[in-house]
Chain A
C-alpha cells in the first residue's frame, strides 16, 4: 500500500476510533460533523447493517454526502422513512436506539455536558449557546452515549457552568435515582489524545487507551479534573489503510470534516 495511507490527522484518528465502537445491526442517533462521518465509516467497513437516525425524523438514509443540518434533505435521502421527531424520540424512549454521539462546550468527570451557557446567571449569560436541542433527550434514552471532542482543559472541567445533558450526574447510583431509565448512560469519550470509559462503581471518567504519539500524562495535563486509569492502558489502534481510504475517498471526499 502507498505511504499516503500511513499518515493520518487527529480528526481521522478520532472518527476511526468512534466508528469502531459501532456494532453491526444496531441503531445510532447522530448529528452532523464527526459523528456522522463515524457512522458512515462504520457502515462501509465493519457495520454494514448499522442504521442511522437523525433527530428531526430521517430514518436510515443512504447518505449521498455530508448533511449540513440534522434536518436537511440529505438526512432522509433514499431513507427507509422520512418521519417525525416523535418517531425518533419515541424509538429512543422505547429502548430501540443503541448509540448516540453528543457534544458540548464543556464535559465533566461523569460525562455530563454543557451546551447551554457560560457564566453563573441564567438570565444574563456570559455566553449563550444553543441549548439542549435533542441532546438531553438522546442522552436520556439511548443505551450508550459517546462524545468525540478535542482534549483540552477548557472543555474538560471540574464543574460545568450549566448541566444541559445528563451523563452519570453525580456519579455512583445518582443517575438511576434521578428517574432516568436504568442501564443507559455515557459509554466512550473519544479525544485526539485518548479513549475513555467510565469506571462501573464511581462512574468517573477513566482512560482505557492512549492514542499513538501521546502519553497518559499528556491526557491528564489537558484535563481539568483527575482522570482514573484502567488497570492496563492500551494504545488506541491507529487507523488502518482501508479505513483511511474509505474515509477520504467515500465518506468525506471534500474534506469538510477531516480537513484534507
Chain B
C-alpha cells in the first residue's frame, strides 16, 4: 500500500523520476579518468540533443553558463524541456532561440530588479510553451532526490497554493507522524551545463562563491557539461581534495571557456555587464531590432570570444573585474 494521496497538482511531469532508468544510464556512461577536454561547440553538438531536458547551473546571471546558452541557440537546438530554476538571462537567451517548449517554472521571464524580459514574456504568453509550476526550493529538492538516486523527496512548502495546483507534486501524509507533507518527484535532467572557475581534464571541478544547487544538479543529471574559466592540472586537485566540489565521474565534457559566464557575474572574477543586459532588454522591445541584435551577438559569432569582442573586448572585461572587486579606478 502506497502513501495516501490527499491532493495532486495537474502539471505535466517533463522528466521520468524512475531512478532505475537513471542508474541504467550511469552504468553505460564512461565516467572514467580520461581526457574529456573539447570545444564548447563539440560538447553541445555531442551532448545536447533536441527534445532533451536541459538544466543550467548558477543563479540568475551569476556563475551561469551563458557561453553555453549562446552555443545551444547557435546550434538551433529545439523542442527541449527546461528547468526554469532561478533562471534570468539564461532563460532570456534560450527564449530568443525558442529552444524549449516545456518549462518547469520556479523563476522565469524576470531579470530580478532589472525588470521583465519583453521577448521572454511574449514567448511564455504565446501558448507555445507547456508550463508546470514549482518553487525554487522544490526544484532544488527534486534535484537532490535525483542526486540521491531516489524517486521522490518530501518538503513542507507549496501547500494550499495554486503553485501546488499547477505543479506535478502530490500532497500526502508522513508515515511516521501523520502530518501532511508535499512529495516531489525526483528530477533527472538529460543534460546540464555548469560554469566553474577551475576544472581538470577529467572533470574534477572547483568553484568559489555560492553553490546554489549545482552540486545536486551535477549529481542528478545524466550528462554533465562543464565550462571553466581555467583548466588546471589534476595534480592541483589532488593537492587539496577538500576543495573539489564536483568529482570527475559525474562529468562528460570539459570546455575551457574564459569569461564563459559573461555577461553575467562570475564570483571573484568579473561583475555582470549591466549595460549590455540593458541593451538586451531594450532590443527585445522591437522584433526587427531584436532579430538584428541576435544576428550580431549570437548567430554571426564564431565563438564566445567574438561575442565579447563585439561588446567591448578586453577593455570591458578589465572594467568588469574592477567592478567585481569594488576598485575605484581613475576613469
Contact = CB atoms under 8 A, between A and B. Distances in A.
Interface of A: 31-33, 55-58, 64-65, 68-73, 75-76, 82-86, 89, 93, 112, 116, 122-137, 140-141, 162-166, 169, 174-175, 178-181
Interface string B123-136: 01101001101111
A169 B133 contact: no
B27 interface: no
Given A57-B211, A68-B114, 4 more contacts: A132-B133, A165-B161, A179-B156, A179-B181
B159 A86 contact: no
Given A123-B131, A125-B124, A130 B213 contact: no
B113 A69 contact: yes
A130 B115 CA distance: 10
Interface stretch (B14-22, B33-41, B57-65, B228-236): B57-65
Nearest to B172: A179
A215 to B, nearest CB: 33
Contacts of A134: 107, 135-137
A183 B216 CA distance: 31
Nearest to B268: A73
Contact of A93 (B116, B156, B209): B156
B1 to A, nearest CB: 21
B227 interface: no
B130 to A, nearest CB: 7
B136 A180 contact: no
Nearest to B158: A136
A165 B127 CA distance: 24
Contacts of B166: 122
B210 interface: yes
Nearest to A175: B160
Contacts of B326: 64-65
A132 B135 contact: yes
Interface residues of B, number: 65
A169 B164 CA distance: 13
- Interface of chain A: mostly helix, strand, loop or mixed: loop
A131 B137 contact: no
B99 interface: no
B120 to A, nearest CB: 8
Contacts of B182: 179
A166 B182 CA distance: 14
A122 B163 CA distance: 11
Contacts of B106: 131-133
B84 interface: yes
Nearest to B181: A179
A88 B260 CA distance: 27
A56 B86 contact: yes
A32 B112 contact: yes
Given A85-B136, A133-B106, A141 B156 contact: yes
A129 B84 CA distance: 13
B180 A178 contact: yes
Contacts of B239: none
A73 B133 CA distance: 28
Interface string B179-190: 111100000000
A83 B210 contact: yes
A166 B135 CA distance: 12
Contacts of A33: 113
B215 interface: yes
A163 to B, nearest CB: 4
A56 B107 CA distance: 12
B137 A125 contact: no
Nearest to B274: A68
A70 B160 contact: no
Contact of A72 (B116, B213, B265): B265
A163 B163 contact: yes
A123 B133 CA distance: 11
Contacts of A136: 135, 157-158, 161, 163
A116 B136 CA distance: 13
A163 B213 CA distance: 26
A55 to B, nearest CB: 6
Interface in B162-205: 162-163, 166, 171, 179-182
B61 A69 contact: yes
Contacts of A175: 160
B212 A180 contact: no
